[in-house]
Structure 1
């Protein structure tokens, strides 16, 4: 599994999200609450989300 990285869509403030992509999808978490829950997205949903962001 890859390491967490800050989203390129996050600004320069402390209000960011981090993403960890892996072979079955991606996990997303709030940088201000790393110890709390994260969202898990299956690969197809994650790719669809990225496609929408880029369009």
Structure 2
């Protein structure tokens, strides 16, 4: 699903990505939740996550629930 640019309150890349365009970007959605897109294709599709699902994902990251590859 493509997210209209006006629906996202600004896109952000991780500080770990430096100036590279080979990462994901996240942006809070005006109606709540989070959008995630590929930085190489900013006009392409984005994944949408409900606010509670995104919060659970972030908490899982902080708790180390996802092993590093």
Coarse TM-score class (shorter-chain normalised): 0.7 to 0.9
Structure 2 unaligned spans of 5+: 1-7, 64-69
TM-score when scaled to structure 1?
Answer: 0.80
Q: How many residues align?
A: 54
Structure 1 unaligned spans of 5+: none
TM-score when scaled to structure 2?
Answer: 0.66
Q: Provide the aligned C-alpha RMSD in A.
A: 1.7
Q: Which has the higher strand share?
A: 1
User: Would you identify which runs of 4 or more consecutive aligned residues in structure 1 move more than 4 Å?
Assistant: none
